[in-house]
Amino acid sequence: MKRIFENLKVAFKSLNSNKLRAFLTMLGIIIGVGSVVAVMSVGAGATASITQNLQSMGTNVITISPGRAEPRGEGGGPMGRFGDDNGETIDAGELHLEDATALHAKATLLNEVAPVLNGRNSTISYMSWSGQVSVTGTTQDFLTVEGYKMAEGNFITESDVSNLSNVAVIGNTIAEDYFGKIDPVGEIIKINGKNFVIIGLLQTVGAIGFGANPDNSIYIPITTAQNKLYGTDTVDSIAAKLKNENQLDASIAEVKSILRIQHRILPGENNDFSVSSPTQFLETASSITQILSLALGGIAAISLLVGGIGIMNIMFVSVTERTREIGIRKSLGAKNRDILIQFLTESILLSFAGGVVGVGFAYLISWVLKSLSSLNSLITATPIILALSFSTAIGLIFGIFPAMRASRLSPVDSLRYE
């Protein structure tokens, strides 16, 4: 232990006598470690952000969309129009209110089913204020499926849907932007020139996945949206809440079975719809961000190798400069092993110190990215440990050759060296 402290003391003294050279030598390690940790922290932050957004959508909710996204025979391919194995074009298919009704009546593993006419930018006006707002058509079950809560008033009812009522539920942001301190419930707004009575105000939800923001949306009966505003008999998607989130696969299989019958799809034919869940999106998104983080981290790690080469060159220079010192130490009884360990200690100390400063540099990069952009970084212990371990290993690997050269110098030749 005493010898270790003595080696560290000599190493600190040697590096302190050449501060500028030591810093320039560490620069490659500093940049390398900082880049690796910063890149991996951005990847971890992106993964955490995606996870939070998708979990906010509910892990027990599935979404049925028109179009195929699965292998042949189970429904495959992107949404739109498709070519089959014979090169013929196949329609993507459509979803209707009757599909949601069939799922609600026949599915045993679903709690609630809500058809959705996804948010369409529409012109709304109230008194002298007007603007573009996302308007979503849906049914009474939407509130339960999505897990939203009312701050005031009521949500859309089954009667509203049946009677094509001109009623609307608004988000918190719209209430603040258009009504200020006025209670919006009971007020009349115009959507694309048609009067709607506000019957409810949602509690603040915040932004959810894929840019959607319920706080800045208006919800109206889906039948009203189809027949009075947008002129369509289809729905964009159907959201369904599972009775048991542990039965995700069984629930998806049941949904597919019901819809294949509903759409009169024969055995062996492709589905004209797809079923997805936030869990599937989460797995895919996490996999992509991890691959990108590793790839970018690997590229950044190249600078660590460059830093290691710099350390090796400087250590060779140090050996040459301290040839007489090595000769004196050997003449006083130092063995080759002692010289080897001494120079290795200096090399490892140099790279480890660079790694520590590099971690501080990574925190600085993360802070700048967070301040100047929307990138979210999350620095965890894992990349720090990996980067410091790698930088220390580089000091060991690239320091071994100069240390071996120093240990093999002849004491007589070293003392004669000028």
Write the pLDDT tens digit of every residue in 249-284: 898 999 999 999 999 988 888 888 888 876 666 667
- For residue 99, give Cα distances in angstroms to 105, 238, 242: 10, 9, 17
For residue 306, which phi and psi values (nearest 5 degrees)? -60, -40
Report the distance separating Cα 107 and Cα 102, nearest Å.
Answer: 8
Average pLDDT on 298-314 reads 75
Quick one: pLDDT at residue 94?
Answer: 87
> Are the C-beta atoms of 242 and 144 separated by less than 8 Å?
no
Quick one: pLDDT at residue 75?
Answer: 39
Confidence at 85, pLDDT banded by 50, 70, 90: very low
Report the distance separating Cα 261 and Cα 264, nearest Å.
Answer: 5
Regarding whether 125 and 211 lie in a shared domain, the answer is yes
Structural domain of residue 269, as residue ranges? 60-109+245-275
Single out the residue of 42, 201, 189 nearest to residue 124, CA to CA.
189
Regarding whether 231 and 139 lie in a shared domain, the answer is yes
Quick one: pLDDT at residue 415?
Answer: 59
- For the chain, give the mean pLDDT: 79
Quick one: pLDDT at residue 142?
Answer: 92
Regarding whether 346 and 222 lie in a shared domain, the answer is no
Regarding whether 204 and 133 lie in a shared domain, the answer is yes
Please say if the pLDDT value at position 102 is more than 90.
yes
Quote the number of domains for the chain: 3
Regarding whether 84 and 32 lie in a shared domain, the answer is no
Regarding whether 29 and 18 lie in a shared domain, the answer is yes
**Amino acid sitting at position 260:** R
Write the pLDDT tens digit of every residue in 155-207: 999 999 999 999 999 999 999 988 888 999 999 999 999 999 999 999 988 76
The domain boundary, picked from 275, 295, 316, lies at: 275
Quick one: pLDDT at residue 34?
Answer: 83
Regarding whether 212 and 334 lie in a shared domain, the answer is no
Average pLDDT on 319-332 reads 74
Single out the residue of 295, 398, 412 nearest to residue 26, CA to CA.
398
The domain boundary, picked from 242, 261, 294, lies at: 242
Quick one: pLDDT at residue 228?
Answer: 92
Quick one: pLDDT at residue 309?
Answer: 79
Regarding whether 205 and 238 lie in a shared domain, the answer is yes
- Neighbouring CB atoms inside 10 A of 354's CB total 31
Please say if the pLDDT value at position 90 is more than 80.
no
Question: Which pTM value belongs to this model?
Answer: 0.59
Regarding whether 350 and 311 lie in a shared domain, the answer is yes
